[in-house]
Amino acid sequence: MNELQVELKSQLEKFCLAKIEPHMEHDDEVEEFRMDIFTDLGNLGFCGMTIPETYGGAGLSYQDCAVALEEIAKYSVSYSVTVSVSTMVQAIINDFGTEKQKTTFLPALTAGQEIGAFCLSESSAGSDAGALKTTAKKTEGGYILNGTKMWITSGGIAKTYIVMARTGEAGSKGITAFIVRDGTPGLSFGKKEKKMGWRASPTREVIFENCFVPEENILIGEGQGFKVAMAALDKGRITIGAVAVGLSQRALDESVKYSLTRHQFNHAIFEFQGLQFMMADMACEIEASRLLVQEAARLYDSGKPNQKIASFAKLKATDTAMKVTTDAVQILGGVGYTREYPLERFMRDAKVLQIVEGTNQVQRVVIARQLKKEYQTH
């Protein structure tokens, strides 16, 4: 890490220990999201890390962002993911929006005063994003949206929604991206999902019933939505990978600390070779994941985004998070399965990381396609 990243990590460690860690078991239990924590992160500059200072962002690189998200995730995957998704929404507006859209929507998001949400998935269009059925019919001055989006992170608490809707033909070419604000007539929310993990982060259906969106809220133009979505997911692979690395690191930290103090047969259980091998493997896999995430971020920052490497990073880091948290529960034994220790929460939080921002099966498809292209070229 460079000097700036060391400082970011140190600042976040102090913040998270003071503001997030004391509440996480309670908030997970009652499914509470604290907006004041998010706003405080914004006040410190962590809610718009990759956005230019012109719009209130910190102007940091994706390598810096990965370090920050990893640190937050050690204490709360829910808050780290909220920052990640809101940052992705900001990146969409920054990359594809007009100057008016940027000045209108970005400052409140970068300041952490508001949260952004990304609305792509539907009940029949998850991995197959081109199959979405939410429609946007042209009318005077704008479009009328009808349909339902599923499993939307921050649904109901977000203020700015990036929504993919069908304006044209079947398939990916008929999709358009819209900016929709909370409070728009015709926009409503379904029940808050009861989830295995990420319980402090609300997930809801987002429902559009004759919801009018002005023409000025289109991103790029008609038929460009799939391009917008895929570009966003390319960044999401990096940020979700970083979240997974942070979660894995905390699980390893807890495992080592516990095994050094827990005694069986007159020895600290750390001294048993079977557990040493487990923790050595955990450490190795976490570092490999971290290096892949940082390489994907470095390539993106250098203007040479590499979809294959980004998919490597997301796939490796999230599969590692699932394996490491499961092994961490095993190392702690009976208490690892109880809520006396946070490992059971980490294990629950890890699972959906393998699903969001493109399932890990989809990541393998993306990697295979890139391999085919490379080998056919050479």
Please give the pLDDT value at position 239: 97
Region 154-171 average pLDDT: 94
More confident residue, 362 or 170: 362
Catalytic, 295? Answer no
Taking only the tens place, the pLDDT of each residue in 173-216 is 899 999 999 999 999 999 999 999 999 999 999 999 999 999 99
Region 146-172 average pLDDT: 94
User: Which position among 70, 114, 285, 357 bears the catalytic label?
Assistant: 357
Total count of domains within the chain: 3
As a whole number of angstroms, the distance between CA 1 and CA 13 comes to 15
- List the CATH number of the domain containing 138: 2.40.110.10
Same domain, 51 and 182: no
Same domain, 147 and 233: no
Burial degree of 357 (CB within 10 A; 0-12, 13-18, 19+)? buried
User: Residue 247: which residues within 8 A CB-CB, separation 6 or more?
Assistant: 73, 74, 77, 321, 325, 346, 349, 350, 353
Same domain, 233 and 218: no
**Residues spanned by the domain of 30:** 3-115
Same domain, 187 and 294: no
Of residues 319, 347, 310, 311, the one with CA closest to residue 332: 347
Please give the pLDDT value at position 378: 75
- List the CATH number of the domain containing 32: 1.10.540.10
Q: E-assigned strands of the chain? A: 116-119, 135-139, 142-153, 160-166, 175-181, 187-192, 203-214, 218-219, 263-264, 267-268
Please determine, for residue 306, whether its predicted confidence score (pLDDT) is greater than 80. Answer: yes
Same domain, 249 and 212: no
Q: For residue 79, what pLDDT band results from cuts at 50, 70 and 90?
A: very high
Please determine, for residue 129, whether its predicted confidence score (pLDDT) is greater than 80. Answer: no
Select from 51, 85, 115 the last residue of a domain. Answer: 115
Region 323-329 average pLDDT: 98
Please give the pLDDT value at position 16: 98
Same domain, 181 and 219: yes
Same domain, 88 and 134: no
Taking only the tens place, the pLDDT of each residue in 215-255 is 999 999 999 999 999 999 889 999 999 999 999 999 999 99
Select from 46, 81, 115 the last residue of a domain. Answer: 115
As a whole number of angstroms, the distance between CA 326 and CA 347 comes to 6
Select from 164, 198, 225 the last residue of a domain. Answer: 225
Q: How far apart are the first and last CA of the chain?
A: 36
Taking only the tens place, the pLDDT of each residue in 85-112 is 999 999 999 999 999 999 999 999 999 9
Same domain, 146 and 161: yes
Same domain, 192 and 257: no
Same domain, 233 and 372: yes
Q: Two tokens at 3?
A: 């000097």
Query: Which amino acid is it at 318?
Result: T
Judge whether 129 and 177 are in contact, CB under 8 Å: no
Please give the pLDDT value at position 126: 75
Same domain, 213 and 335: no
